[in-house]
Amino acid sequence: MIPPVGHDYAEAIERAKYLEAHNVDAIDIPDAPPSSARMSALSLAILLEKATEIESLAHYTCRDKNLLGMQADLLGAYALGLRNLLLTTGDPHQMGDYIDATAVFDVDSIGLANMVSRLNAGLDIGGQPIGHPTAFHIGVAVNPGAMNLDEELRRFAYKVEAGAEFAITQPVFDADEFRAFIARVQDHRLPILAGIMPLESARHAEFMANEVPGVRVPDAIVERMHRADGDGRAADEGLAIAREIALAIRPMVQGVQISTAPRAIDMALGLIDFSGAVGA
């Protein structure tokens, strides 16, 4: 669920209650895209948890704040009840309305995982006691389709060493590629949640295949979406493809994370019975 523009979160609460009523276990809240003035993921996660019984997973990136600012954010979020984090490095401000905004990147996601692990041990970034330790659940990202998979797995090993407790992958469109990836990370014995994304159109398929770094969409899937587009059934075909992928990879992982467009929640719900989903 992408944080709203501005501070009105009523629609987000309505969508969260709808998902809760359909047995979704957790709502994934990505870092706000740098294209408009949006609420922070931490804030929306806390608001959702206070308004519903559903859990939230807030993304937190290293892009916009220094170490002291990140530490302050996380301690405040913990005091307000937030427990689940997905720690990411974040993308630079290369597009959107604020391309001149300064990116910070004091640390990357590995360093951020180390910092949260210290908080969980009752220590600040300088090693000083903070009183009662936090108890964050530390999630990290991993990309099975990375251009340099060896480097991706090297960084993943460091994230595990830094204290990662679970990982969520980029959207998976190639079950065979994913199977090979799982074989290489299974020794870490870390719960993996596979990203699943129903394609909405041929244009969407082309975008994911050509514009999103590290996401590989096989030519056969792009061709299927083009044929379906011509027949006026692209969304149905995208959901069918997602179900096929979910069925193929579900035995390899501990859960799936389903990503859809903000107005396409029912597409996510259409996958739950097929995949044993744990997030939306």
Instruction: Give the up-direction half-sphere exposure of residue 76: CA atoms within 13 A in the CB hemisphere.
Output: 9
pLDDT tens for the chain, 280 residues long, are: 889 888 999 999 999 999 888 888 899 998 866 656 789 999 999 999 999 999 999 999 887 788 899 999 999 999 999 999 999 987 665 555 556 666 666 788 999 999 999 999 999 999 999 999 999 999 999 999 888 999 999 999 999 999 999 999 999 999 999 999 999 999 999 999 999 999 999 999 999 999 887 788 999 999 999 999 988 899 999 999 999 999 999 999 999 999 887 667 777 787 776 555 444 4
Query: What pLDDT, on a 0 to 100 scale, did the predictor assign at position 278?
Result: 43
Instruction: Return d(Cα 135, Cα 51) in angstroms, integer.
Output: 22
Asked whether the beta carbons of 61 and 27 are under 8 A apart, the reply is: no
Asked whether the beta carbons of 205 and 199 are under 8 A apart, the reply is: yes
Beta bridge partners of 25: none
**Domains in the chain: boundaries:** 10-275
Instruction: Return d(Cα 245, Cα 252) in angstroms, integer.
Output: 12
Asked whether the beta carbons of 17 and 45 are under 8 A apart, the reply is: no
Please determine, looking at this structure, whether the domain spanning 10-275 carries the CATH number 1.10.645.10: no
Amino acid at residue number 32: A
Amino acid at residue number 134: T
Query: What pLDDT, on a 0 to 100 scale, did the predictor assign at position 23?
Result: 80
Radius of gyration over every alpha carbon of the chain, rounded to an integer in angstroms: 19
- From residue 108, alpha-carbon distances to 14, 105, 159, 165, 259 in Å are 34, 6, 10, 17, 24
Dihedral of the alpha carbons of 81, 85, 88, 94, in degrees to the nearest 10: -50
The 166-171 sheet, strands edge to edge: 26-29, 55-61, 84-88, 137-142, 166-171, 192-196, 255-258
Query: What pLDDT, on a 0 to 100 scale, did the predictor assign at position 35?
Result: 56
Helices (H), the chain: 10-21, 41-51, 67-79, 109-120, 149-162, 175-185, 202-210, 219-231, 234-249, 265-275
85-122 residue pLDDT tens: 999 987 665 555 556 666 666 788 999 999 999 999 99
Query: What pLDDT, on a 0 to 100 scale, did the predictor assign at position 93?
Result: 54
- From residue 155, alpha-carbon distances to 108, 159, 165, 178 in Å are 10, 6, 15, 18
Query: What pLDDT, on a 0 to 100 scale, did the predictor assign at position 96?
Result: 53
Beta bridge partners of 256: 194
